[in-house]
């Protein structure tokens, strides 16, 4: 049997001209999996649990931070999240004034150690499913999709949240935490570990769904389609009741800001919440049938 070698870049000669044609494999198969974020996407409408605890632990360290400052790095591993808050010029200056020197890694670790038990103490209280989650999961199952998940929470925190969500009817096939990989978001490792554990490839057959720019970056860096949820997540940052009680003009302003920020992060689609995912999956499936991929 004769072996045939094919190269990626193949030169062709036509009437004395050298032309180069690029050939590549194109996946035109179905979607195979979704990878869902937790807080702000499937549980904890508004991603309220972590924001409140960040404000609390900084305050107890003598430095007051705003809710907006607490929410800025949301979606990252919580230790990285604290580090990013400390890098904010206003917070760094306030810390130096209060403690006599700029914040350092020892301070990051001390706040992280204070944050962890406080977050674990309240996490189950914010485990209610976001409306539309169970219907969306049922649709994913009907489509034959595997369901992965990843989070900025640690394994210890998820040991509390996962059973609380299961008691409400939500159990994904996989749960990957920032502590399971070398680095959390925006690096792609949690999304990639989900794909590996679920046994799905190519990565163009996977959709990453989350509520923060870090979620979007994670999905893009993993080579996946990305869907960002705006209304229910960190970028609006309000519980369902709080959002509904806002004056209409204020509510529209918050929603517009959330949509713009997530679109600017590079999300392929921005929607209100998980209940709107199914229609977008139909569009992504159509893209794949045409040979279109997330990175094209």
Active site residues: 37, 78
Q: Closest Cα to residue 230, out of 254, 207, 214, 208? A: 254
Distance of alpha carbon 154 from alpha carbon 113, whole angstroms: 12
Host H or E run for residue 166:
helix 155-167
Q: Which residues, at least 6 apart from 218, have a Cβ–Cβ distance to it below 8 Å?
A: 75, 150, 185, 186, 187, 188, 190, 191, 208, 210
Contacts of 208 (CB under 8 A, 6+ apart): 34, 35, 191, 215, 216, 218, 219, 222, 224, 225, 226, 227
Kindly give, in sequence order, each residue whose CB lies less than 8 Å from that of residue 197, ignoring residues fewer than 6 positions away.
148, 174, 176
């Amino acid at each position: 049997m004769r072996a045939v070698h094919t190269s990626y870049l193949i030169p062709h000669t036509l009437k004395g001209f050298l032309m180069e044609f690029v050939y590549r494999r194109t996946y035109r198969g179905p979607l195979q999996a979704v990878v869902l974020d937790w807080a702000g996407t499937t549980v904890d409408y508004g991603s309220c649990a972590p924001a409140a605890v960040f404000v609390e632990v900084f305050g107890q360290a003598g430095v007051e931070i705003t809710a907006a400052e607490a929410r800025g790095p949301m979606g990252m591993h919580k230790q990285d999240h604290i580090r990013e808050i400390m890098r904010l010029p206003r917070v760094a200056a306030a810390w130096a004034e209060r403690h006599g020197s700029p914040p350092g890694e020892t301070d990051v670790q001390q706040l992280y150690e204070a944050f962890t038990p406080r977050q674990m103490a309240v996490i189950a209280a914010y485990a209610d499913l976001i409306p539309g989650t169970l219907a969306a999961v049922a649709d994913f199952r009907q489509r034959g999709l595997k369901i992965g998940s990843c989070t900025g929470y640690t394994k210890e925190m998820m040991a509390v949240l996962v059973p609380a969500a299961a008691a409400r009817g939500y159990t994904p096939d996989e749960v990957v935490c920032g502590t399971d990989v070398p680095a959390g978001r925006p690096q792609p490792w949690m999304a990639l570990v989900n794909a590996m554990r679920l046994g799905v490839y190519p990565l163009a057959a996977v959709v990453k769904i989350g509520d923060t720019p870090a979620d979007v970056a994670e999905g893009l860096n993993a080579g996946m389609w990305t869907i960002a949820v705006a209304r229910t997540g960190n970028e609006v940052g309000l519980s369902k009741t709080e959002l509904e009680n806002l004056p209409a003009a204020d509510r529209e302003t918050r929603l517009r800001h959330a949509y713009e920020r997530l679109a600017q992060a590079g999300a392929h689609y921005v929607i209100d919440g998980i209940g709107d995912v199914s229609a977008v999956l139909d569009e992504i499936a159509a893209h794949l049938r045409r040979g279109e991929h997330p990175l094209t």
